[in-house]
Chain A
Amino acid sequence: MRKITKEVSSLRIVKMTLSILIMVILLVSSFCRQGVSSASYPTTPIVFSNISDNSGDYPVVCYSTTKNGYNVNGHIYVKFQDLASPLGGTYTVAPGPTYVLQINGQTNAFYMSSTTSYSTISYSILDKSTGQTTQYSFNFSGTMLYPVMTIDGYPCVWVQYAALTLGSLIGRWDSSNNRYIIYHWRVNGNTPLSDSNTYFVGGEWLSNWNNYLATPLYLSPHFQLGGPDNIWSNYNPSSHPDYYRQVKIATTVLQSMENTRKLMGNTPYSPSCVFRSYWYNKNVGGWQWSWHMKGRAMDAGGTTMRDTVIGDIGAVAGFDGFLYSTNPNSVTQWDEIESPALASYLHGQRAPRNQDNHSGSVPHCP
């Protein structure tokens, strides 16, 4: 009996020793894993929201989806792939390593431990008056406040900068709900809207952006950024100065702007308004679903230009308050224009027909 107890007791000691050993091994391996892996930071929600609003200081959140970001000493970081997917972009890695985000004809390059990023945009515009096609290639650089870093094994980027570079209209910290919000027109819950347009995107987050005030940049044969053509957002919201001179314009709009010039007998004109930031749109009392905010609309001229375009596109009234094109071979290629009852000028937009109320498949918030 005593022997058995002793044996059991020995067995217990062996078991205890083994358990302790296993615990120690687990603890050591856990520390080792932490040691070789990258830094870890608290997670924070990053909300991706569609943007169609004109009410509050910031747009209402709608058609949203949420990803986990990281709070790095108060600065919010996001995994590259988590930034790309809700916006309908793609993410890949090239030598360097170079982290490449692509969306709507834009290629954006980021580098590990670097605060520098590059954005390249290439497209072509046909000048119908000469029949010549011009190729445009732009390469912009920007300096982020915080560098690209690896968190939990994933390359991550400072979300504020990267989101704007990818054509988001606004990125902001929502202190009342402890979350970061990105507003981008393509966000549509978990299924980004498809959009095959190439956009020229920029703003004061890019280096030397204001140089275009002194030396305007031709985006097409006859229309300039920074010149009299009002392509960028010409309203300085005092509470949101970062969004002064923001721009997002579809190259199809640039093409239609050129085509309109041709239609009007090659008469030069300057648009009164092309892209509107959220606050610019709000300030002018713009419509909450404005295509100016999406970079897909232009206002220009007066009734003559408007009525000439009406003839060109064979405009008929849609059920959403716009006149839409019935002429696939029109010179200008505007898809829709605003009704003459509402505008004494040309408001042309490159937008899908009959989408400007809640019955369309395009999200409408709120």
Chain B
Amino acid sequence: MRNRKVLLVIFAVLILSLAISIKTTQTRGEINNPDKLIEEFLKSMDNGNYTEVLDKMVLWVPFDPLNREGNSGMDLSKAEEIGLDKVSATPEEIRDSQSQLLKDEAEIIKHTFGEDAFTKATFTKERHDGTLDTVWVDTRTGKQITPQEAEKTSIAFYDRLFRDSGFTEDEVNEVINAAKNQTLTKALEERMLKLDQIVSANASNCPAQTKPITTEGYIYHLSFGLPESNKDYHNFFIRIEYRNGKWVTLCGIEMDLPEGEPGDV
């Protein structure tokens, strides 16, 4: 009897986890077809369904709207993995303000380009890859290595280069110790400059390299029927990024309008 209860509890927990997982997946705004998403976005904007637009496109997380830090609309669970941890507004606050922003922008666009602006809108996409973090790799094996291994590999590499350039180990140590202790003489300074130049010239050949963990993405440029020559003036930018095998929007919703005279530049 007791065992049955335990099994029941485990089963309930499993079902609950599954439900949460499905719900999370649904609300994260993951998409597999960004082009289709843009079409849906335009349709929703045309219909005035701003909340629908946002719920489809945006991953709601707290962020700092006043400082425009980060990108509005990230899944809280994703915030840490993409390097964001400073937040100062709740998801609801962001959702409300973004919804209002979209409403305002949609009205401006319709006022400026006509009621059918969204149905006539066209878009182009531009590749935009980002960097999530950097890790060390050994270029000879292509494998990730620890910072300590990277340090060891790099030192061995430059040590060899310094020797090949005619520096003895003692000479190198003399320069480094003098540099550490700020007792460089003019002659040592010249040697140091030379060592620095060797490092600069050969940095790209060192087997230990920092490698960015990249994200793939696109920036969508929406245009509203303007002449080709003027299209740069009136763009709606939407940035979409691909992270960890899933398309997510990072809410780069911005509208560009012509600026005034630049004044003193």
Contacts and interface: CB of A to CB of B under 8 A. Distances in A.
A286 B264 contact: yes
Contact of B129 (A49, A191, A286, A291): A191
A111 interface: yes
A291 B158 CA distance: 38
Nearest to B204: A90
Contacts of A102: 200, 203
Interface string A351-366: 0001011110000011
A135 to B, nearest CB: 12
Contacts of A155: 147, 151
A153 B262 CA distance: 48
B256 to A, nearest CB: 4
Interface in B110-144: 128-134, 136
Interface stretch (A70-78, A116-124, A225-233, A242-250): A116-124
Given A91-B210, A95-B155, A322-B262, A47 B69 contact: yes
Contacts of B179: 109, 111, 114, 116, 118
Given A60-B67, A111-B179, A118 B192 contact: yes
B68 A284 contact: no
B245 to A, nearest CB: 17
B180 A114 contact: yes
A180 to B, nearest CB: 11
Contacts, number: 191
Nearest to A88: B131
Which one of B131, B162, B180 has the greatest number of beta carbons of chain A within 10 Å?
A: B180
Given A85-B134, A143-B182, A366 B68 contact: yes
A300 B82 CA distance: 45
Contacts of A189: 71, 130
Contacts of A35: none
A118 B162 CA distance: 18
Interface string B240-263: 000000000000001011110111
Contacts of B193: 120, 137, 139
A259 B68 CA distance: 41
B105 interface: no
B70 A64 contact: yes
B212 A85 contact: yes
Contact of B189 (A61, A64, A139, A287): A139
Given A60-B67, A64-B69, A100-B199, A90 B210 contact: yes
Interface string A320-361: 111000000000000000100011000101000010111100
Contacts of A354: 232
A299 to B, nearest CB: 9
B259 to A, nearest CB: 4
B17 interface: no
Interface string A190-202: 1110000000000
Given A66-B83, A111-B180, A319-B232, A94 B264 contact: no
Given A82-B134, A342-B265, 13 more contacts: A61-B68, A66-B84, A85-B131, A91-B210, A92-B158, A120-B192, A141-B184, A153-B148, A177-B67, A287-B265, A290-B264, A297-B265, A320-B262
17 contacts: A45-B85, A64-B70, A67-B83, A81-B147, A92-B158, A94-B155, A96-B155, A100-B203, A139-B193, A177-B86, A189-B71, A190-B132, A290-B265, A297-B265, A356-B265, A357-B259, A359-B235
Interface of B: 64, 67-71, 82-86, 88, 128-134, 136, 146-148, 150-151, 154-155, 158-159, 162, 172-173, 176, 179-182, 184, 189, 192-193, 195-197, 199-200, 203, 206, 208, 210, 212, 215, 232-233, 235, 254, 256-259, 261-265
- Sort A-B residue pairs by CB-CB distance and give the 4 closest, nearest first: A190-B130, A359-B232, A93-B154, A61-B67
